[in-house]
Amino acid sequence: MNRSIDDPSLYINRETSWLAFNGRVLEEANDSNNPVLERVKFLAISASNLDEFFEVRVAGLLQRIEEGYKDSGPDALTAQQERDLIGQETHDFLREQYECWNKRLLPALAKENIRVLDYKELDSEQLAFVDNYCLKEVDPLLTPVTVDPSHPFPRVLNKALCIALLLKRKRRATGTYMGVITVPRVLPRLVRLPSKSGMDYIFLADLLISHAARMYRGYEIVSAASFRVTRNSNLYLEEEEARNLLESVRTELHRRRKGDAVRLEIDAGVHTEIARRLQQTFELEDWQVFYTQGPVNLSRLFNIYDLTERPDLKYKSFVSRELRLPASSNNIFTELRKRDILLHHPYDSFDAVVDFIETAASDPDVISVKQTIYRTSRDSPIVSALITAAGEEKEVTAILELTARFDEASNIQWARMMEDEGVQVYHGLVGLKTHCKLCLLVRHDTDGVTRRYAHIGTGNYNPTTSRFYTDVSLLTASPQITSAVHQVFNYLTAYSEAPNYAPLAISPIDLASTTLAQIQREAQHAKAGRPARIIAKMNALLDKNVIQALYKASQAGVKIELLIRGMCSLRPGVPGISDNIVVRSIVYRFLEHSRIFYFENAGDEQIYISSADWMPRNLYERVEVLCPILDPNLKQRIKDEILAAYLADNAKTRFLDRNGNYHHVPRQRGQKSFVAQDFLIALAEGNATAADIPDPVSLRARGASMARKKQTVES
């Protein structure tokens, strides 16, 4: 009997898939082959990721339950069932995090003379240091509170470090009181100690607990514990009703810091009375209380990485390859009239993109600059260039997305600054986030022709994150592409829909339908016996329509390789459904962020880059762009250098099986380790060529075989 592709069992739950991704991040923290300070950073990343998961995903889930929503996803799980599922999984994950910290990382750091000490482990010199530090730097900033009818429980801000104390009055020892100290964010959560050998640290929370008696004179401290509350950080905007989106976002940001509590983290040794009172105060169920076997905020371990000057315990640094123009080109515009330029970040420096925009700002022949901004750095050279261009009396337009999650406050500041300097600032379309990455210049060239030049990227205009996010940039003067980019900007500023945006596809207009048509075309080629293959690299695959199209293509015989860093709801290797689909995930030094799509198309290969993942929000709720690579040389580079390297990775690749589990594939005897990111660094440094990439086909077959064996055993 044929199995319907609507069967809910064919879809992996998005939340558990995300937790599996964060588990792969934690695996890197546990991997002793990674430098120890990098392992500490991976643990901190896993904690930061989990914070956002609770702030956004769990918070939204709880709100849906509260409002009585009965809808379910492709996997048919209700919100209540999802809550029960992730409740157990997040507690298990927390236990694994602290096991990594206590049993693996602390001993590994100690071997390198890097110690994180308890207060009782401090020597006399260190005790004198912390006493002086608390007296001069800490105590003046703290406001201890004893909770009683005239001193209500203080408003605890989202993710703020706090100390809870159970107190008894020394003179009147009847009953107990609750004491609370909220710790200002200006204080470092990790304090470097003087040390005669190596590097010693102590967590600020340990110092505060040890010095609490100084702030609570007249009380006996029965017990003390550090805690942290995570709150709902979603913005609930009624854009249709808002007279001014900027002011609406600003107002919502103030509410975010005080949103409903969704999680309480507290020291595992906490007195039961403290835990009970905190749980009641924040109105949390038992599953929302997490007892930590160590510091309540593991994301603060970033400080150990940053403060410890031990390059030997970090990844070897490398310098990104700079774009060098030939002597025959006076500037970037002369070169772009001859050819398109492809940049693969961080291996190719993002400076080329910054230079493209800065050159436009100062070039007297450039008359117009249009730019989308989703996220950017705190001291953004891109924004500075736009302001410079406006000062040069060029027409400058910025489409700045105010609702980019957790960058709203920064983007509000940039919007006001640019408007004050003469930049025309718009905030996209009501109800649609502007997520596409576009820059468009208009220039009166020296040959008398007015031309457009464009940058199209898969990542944000952020020079900081570009150093550790992998992304792809296209610089082009193609009349077809630049004309289409111009139409996209008209859509963003005037809601003016063009008849079509070819050769681009944009959401929410035609990106979804174009994607489905591309997949269906491969299926038709396969049925007709023509070459058919899909390679798709992205952050997440969740859209049911796309997954069903891939299932049908697999049934038609299309070989499908999916490189998905994070969430994936598709189940590969299901007999009769997805036998021809292999799903890989690579988690390593750089965050895999580029979106690249390859279609064999009966030999007429097509390759695209995009700002969009195959998720409903990207395909239907945002403005995104899918752009073809037209230059044959650039297509060859993407296929034979970038995609081939990822498909050949046999060290950092995990294969997804049909049960939703990810596995490394053991290397065969004599097979050398191949790490795609390390190879791409060597390539950028001139120490490797595409010829050094192993044949990925054998690995694919072996990976699929191993996954099937694993599934058989588990079944």
Three-class HEC string of 266-277: EECCCCHHHHHH
Residue 52: count other Cβ atoms within 10 Å of its Cβ.
14
Catalytic residue among 345, 435, 455, 593: 435
Residue whose entry in the numeric block shows the structure tokens 């690249």 = 596
Query: Quick one: residue 432, left, alpha or beta (phi over 0 = left, psi -120 to 50 = alpha)?
Result: beta
Alpha-carbon span 656 to 320, nearest angstrom: 32
CB burial string 244-274: b at 16+ within 10 A, e below: ebbebbeebeeebeebebbbbbbbeebbeeb
How far apart CA 56 and CA 36 sit, in angstroms, is: 31
Helices (H) and strands (E) in the chain, counts: 23, 27
Q: Is 444 exposed, middle or buried (0-12, 13-18, 19+ CB in 10 A)?
A: middle
Cα separation, 370 vs 441, in Å, equals: 6
The question of whether 211 is a catalytic residue gets the answer no
Cα–Cα distances (Å) from 451 to 332, 352, 353, 446, 499, in that order, read 13, 20, 18, 11, 22
Residues paired with residue 455 on neighbouring β-strands, in sequence order: 439, 475
Q: How far is CA 630 from the centre of its chain?
A: 29
Phi-psi region of 455 (alpha: psi -120 to 50; beta: other; left: phi over 0): beta
Calpha distance 312→294 (Å, rounded): 27
User: What gap in Å lies between CA 97 and CA 190, rounded to an integer?
Assistant: 19
What are the structure tokens assigned to 359, written together?
């050159």
Task: Give the pairing of strands 533-538 and 559-564.
Answer: parallel
Per DSSP, what are the bridge partners of residue 231?
Answer: 261
Asked if residues 541 and 615 have their Cβ atoms less than 8 Å apart, the reply is yes
Strand partners, 146: 179
CB 477 within 8 A of CB 451: yes
- d(CA 614, CA 712) in angstroms, rounded, equals 29
105: Cβ contacts below 8 Å, ≥ 6 apart: 29, 36, 39, 40, 43
Residue 524, helix vs strand vs coil: helix
**C-beta atoms surrounding 647 within 10 Å:** 23
Give DSSP secondary structure letters for 407-456.
Answer: -HHHHHHHHHHHHHTT-EEE--BTTBEE--EEEEEEEE-TTS-EEEEEEE
Buried b (16+ CB within 10 A) or exposed e, 182-213: bbeeeeebbbebebeeebbbbbbbbbbbbbbe
Alpha carbon distance 236, 255 (integer Å): 10
Q: Could you give the residue numbers annotated as active site?
A: 435
